[in-house]
Amino acid sequence: MTKFSRQLKSHYARFIAGINAKCVAICCVDDCVTQVKSSHYLKKREVLMQTFKRGIVVAALLFSPMTLAQDLNSQLTAWFSQRLAGFSDEVVVTIRTSPNLLPSCEQPALSVSGNAKLWGNVNVLARCANEKRYLQVNVQATGNYVVAAAPVARGSALTPASVTLKRGRLDQLPPRAVLDLNQVQDAVSLRDLVPGQPIQLSMLRQAWRIKAGQRVLVIANGEGFRVNAEGKALNNAAVAQNARVRMISGQVVSGVVDSDGNILINL
């Protein structure tokens, strides 16, 4: 009986030891899994943080030029709108220059050359202290322009009934298009015009105020005196144009035609 009891205790002890060993192994595995999971989580978190930081840097790099371009676009729109007041009431500006070539200051001084057009493709000088940048912009301007309201034959004088205003894109008009009806008053067409055709200054001439062979009055003004004499015009001329006149004495003089058809000479 005693021998059997010792054997039983020995088997029990080995059984318990086996269980303990398995538990230790399981615990070790659990600890390893936990550590692996923790390490994986930390690495994933680190990657996410790095990605987030990179995103912030990239966004800052992108957002800053975009914001600067938007502000500059607003400034350019206001600048062109002010200078086109009376011609256009709708101005849209598009900057064609690359964002990395835009001026670095927030309020650059803007200018264009004196004879530059103010719509279509325009080069704008932007100054920031000692920095100068040339910007390429496109300006769309909408307003009124003069078109033929009825057929006009070459050599005919334009009348209020033969012209009218039309609204549209001024930047798409041909060169020297007429925008004001007063510009065609008493003008003569140099070519045939069809209804709806935009009128250009190159298509017109002013009506002759005097014609060659016409008797005209020549008025010479000097310091403290004024002399009037008649002569014969040698060429056609409109108001404010030069006319040559042969005087009764045979002398040829030149002067400017005034609104009354007189020839003015300043001595």
For 85-144, the pLDDT digits (tens) are 999 999 999 999 999 999 989 899 999 988 888 999 999 999 998 899 999 999 999 999
Listed range (10-19, 21-30, 94-103, 201-210) with the worst mean pLDDT:
21-30
The CATH number for 105's domain is 3.90.1210.10
- Residue 23 domain-assigned? yes
pLDDT of 20 strictly over 60: no
Distance CA 223, CA 262 (A): 20
- Residue 10 domain-assigned? no
256 and 156, same domain (yes or no): no
Q: Is the pTM value of this prediction over 0.75?
A: no
Q: Decide which of 162, 187, 207 is a domain's last residue.
A: 207
201 and 221, same domain (yes or no): no
- Residue 12 domain-assigned? no
Q: Check if the beta carbon of residue 127 is closer than 8 Å to that of residue 105.
A: no
236 and 191, same domain (yes or no): no
Host domain of residue 97: 18-207
pLDDT, tens only, 203-236: 999 889 999 999 999 999 988 889 999 999 999 9
pLDDT of residue 29: 44
The CATH number for 223's domain is 2.30.30.760
